[in-house]
Structure 1
Amino acid sequence: MNFSLKPDFEESYKRYEAFFEGTIDDRPLVSIILPKDNCIEFPKKKYDSYKEQWLDIDYRAEQIAHQLNNQIYLGDAMPVAFPDMGPEFFSALCGCDYSFSETTAWSEPCIKDWAEDYDTAILDTSHPLLEIALKFTDNLIDLGKDTFITGLPDFHPGGDHLSALRDPANLAMDVIENKNYIKKKLSDSQGEFYKVYDMFYNKIHGASNPASTWLPLISKEKYYALSNDFSCMISTSDFEELFLDGLIDETLFYDKSIYHLDGPGALRHLDTILSMKNLNAVQWVPGAGHDNFKDWIDVYKKIQKAGKGIDLHCIDISEIDMLIDNLSPEGIFLRNITGVDSLETARKLLNKLYTKWK
């Protein structure tokens, strides 16, 4: 695979492979992306609605390509184009009404009553949003040929999908009153999700792109980020009873995987998540206002001790010495380091990490 924005792609790729194995190749896996000097602003376009803005995939693809071409990729940073259709895109394909704001999108629950609405919440492979998302991916593949990587959309299957179908509050009550419906819909929707995933994976793989997504790890095999943001609302026993089997099945469906663990309320499930044999890594997201590295060192150490990789993306440059003193570089993907505001600062930081973090 060759990408002009990342001429050392194959060399860097070996470090991503090592990450998924919880090891290190020749140096730490570090991603730093900076804007080029004197970037030309992409022409802005006016729209009558946010929906019109989101669905203008020709413009959006050109805009993403422009941004990627105006960035510098230091360390093992990869130029990844993310065909974003919002976090509940998959649920929209399965019956939910879908709305757009300036920066995100959200779905409206479509199962008001399990018995009456169960069969209406199924995958529609002729849904216009699916056609648009596939065309969006095609546009990025064409623009990025031999230049940048085109990844996968955000899907949010499993528990997050059911949360969208039902509304989180209703699903929380279902955990008490309607467990059988939860289990049945999880089972039925799993195959639907795999079908949609393969539509996009086969497209990017056929165009000689590695798999990537909003969490920009890369693999030449099937890769994706698992999640269950709804899990912050339930006990670990209910999480294990209702959702663990589906998550384990996902880790078997992919070749490489990482779990997106979002917020202190979900941290109670960490031991369960670490018990998944085929899971490669964990992304811990402490939440806004709680992202001081020092507060979560024990969490990171626990993940490392379990032999899982870590997507460590919430650290300030002032905390790097603390990182070096407390964690091993094996199986860590270090990115989005705040305080790196110049090429000189970035190069000094990379030199420090490469020479002292061993």
Structure 2
Amino acid sequence: MIQFAKEKYKKIQDDFELWWEHKLDRPIIQVTLTNMSTALTGDFFGSNYRKEILEASYDMECPVEEAVRRIDAAYSGVEFLGDAFPVFYMRPTGVLGGYLGQQHNINKQLGTVWFFNEGHGKRTLEEAAAVQLDRALPLYQRSIALTRQVQEHFQGTVAVGVPDFGGVYDVLASLCDSNDLLLDLCMEEDAVKEAAWNIHEQFKKAYDDFFGAIDPDRIPGYTCWATMLSRKPYFVLQNDFSAMISADMYDDFYMPILEQECRYIPRTIYHLDGPDAVRHLDSILTVPELDGVQWINGAGAPGLDKWPDIYKKIRAAGKLCQVFINSADELRYIDDVVEISGSAKDLCFICTGDVKDKDRFDEYLEKYGVR
């Protein structure tokens, strides 16, 4: 069973609303701890509880009521400190492809799901421009049913979000093949844009369906795969495909979609993933409706303290900034980012780690006044 007191939500809700409104004088610091000794991949993302939640969600033979009981049991050994709280959303990234008819394969060892076209083939741009959200698909119906059942079962203990749909161009690349799509950007510009705008329209349909399945009176707030809390619906937008294209191509092919996404969704954060995405930051920050940027330096890249220009640009643009702290050894990056940014305001640190390091996380929560 989940070990979390619902009474904690009032302060977490209030503090997050202040943060969204740029009125919180401290950083948001979430700490979620689990037993890493049994983690499949040696880190939080391979932890048993995340693996079990994924398996329960995708076990199509398991009734949704039983699946949610399994999800509840999976949370039994998880601790939530500071601004952290339990969440549910349909994983993993790119699930919109599954709702458009792609097949899926769950990898229980890695704790993830892969989406692919039937026969492992690829769709043409014309097919991608015509593909429609298929509400009759078992995966779609199960996802909606799980979203509703989680609310019924947990009675306000768990924050609920929409699935991790994935970015428009990431889903398009999954449908049509990334290498082919790169060539098509140069040779089939109009066809690419038509297909991308159609994926965007299908995203909006799914977004509306899932937010419609969430009753704001039965949850402590909205969340998503970036586990912030909001009284208004929010979403983390992304375009990981952009790491392979120029700034000019990004502006031409994606910026109009990003601008519309930010106008459509009440609150938005942009997922800036890795050094090859940094060249697009200046354009991203020009979108008035965008609330913030999530910076991920990426595996093998310099540490979070080695990107001062990113934090300074985000701060200068008046946007919020969120980063991940993936172990107790990375806690020092909180100090670095605060110092570079010039203030602890408008920052959110989502921390994960091992329960054996709880004291080290508690020290940082106390240091920054997170109760």
Change (3 A) 1:69 1:203: farther
CA distance in 1, matches of 2:56, 2:116: 17
Matched, 1:11 2:22: no
SS of equivalent to 1:156: coil
Q: Residues 124-164 of structure 1, C-alpha deviation per residue, up to 9 Å, x if partnerless?
A: 12111111111121222222113222222110141112111
Q: What's the counterpart of residue 175 of structure 2?
A: 165
CA distance in 1, matches of 2:283, 2:255: 8
Q: Residues 281-337 of structure 1, C-alpha deviation per residue, up to 9 Å, x if partnerless?
A: 111111112251221233122211211111121371234443443231111111216
1:94 corresponds to which of 90, 97, 100: 100
How does the TM-score come out when normalised to structure 1? 0.85
Could you tell me how far 1:17 is from its partner in structure 2? 2.0
SS of equivalent to 1:100: strand
Q: What's the counterpart of residue 336 of structure 1?
A: 351
Q: Is the 8 A contact 1:31 1:336 kept in 2?
A: yes
Q: How does 1:1-358 map to 2 (within 5 A)?
A: 5-21=5-21, 23-35=22-34, 53=59, 56=62, 57-84=64-91, 86-102=92-108, 103-109=111-117, 111-115=122-126, 117-118=127-128, 121-206=131-216, 208-209=218-219, 210-290=221-301, 292-314=303-325, 316-327=330-341, 328-336=343-351, 341-354=356-369
Change (3 A) 1:149 1:5: farther
Q: Residues 257-302 of structure 1, C-alpha deviation per residue, up to 9 Å, x if partnerless?
A: 1001112111110111111111111111111122512212331222
SS of equivalent to 2:182: helix
CA distance in 2, matches of 1:263, 1:69: 33
Could you tell me how far 1:176 is from its partner in structure 2? 0.5
CA distance in 2, matches of 1:279, 1:320: 23
What value does the CA root-mean-square deviation take over the aligned residues? 2.9
Could you tell me how far 1:99 is from its partner in structure 2? 2.5
SS of equivalent to 2:258: helix
Q: Is the 8 A contact 1:282 1:303 kept in 2?
A: yes
- Number of aligned pairs? 342
Q: Is the 8 A contact 1:18 1:331 kept in 2?
A: no
Structure 2 counterpart of 1:237, one-letter code: D
Structure 2 counterpart of 1:243, one-letter code: Y
Q: Is the 8 A contact 1:6 1:78 kept in 2?
A: no
Could you tell me how far 1:4 is from its partner in structure 2? 5.7
CA distance in 2, matches of 1:6, 1:70: 17
CA distance in 1, matches of 2:128, 2:301: 39
CA distance in 1, matches of 2:272, 2:334: 22
| Sequence identity (%) | 26
Could you tell me how far 1:339 is from its partner in structure 2? 7.8
Q: Is the 8 A contact 2:130 2:198 kept in 1?
A: no
Change (3 A) 1:325 1:193: closer
CA distance in 2, matches of 1:107, 1:340: 33
Structure 2 counterpart of 1:105, one-letter code: V
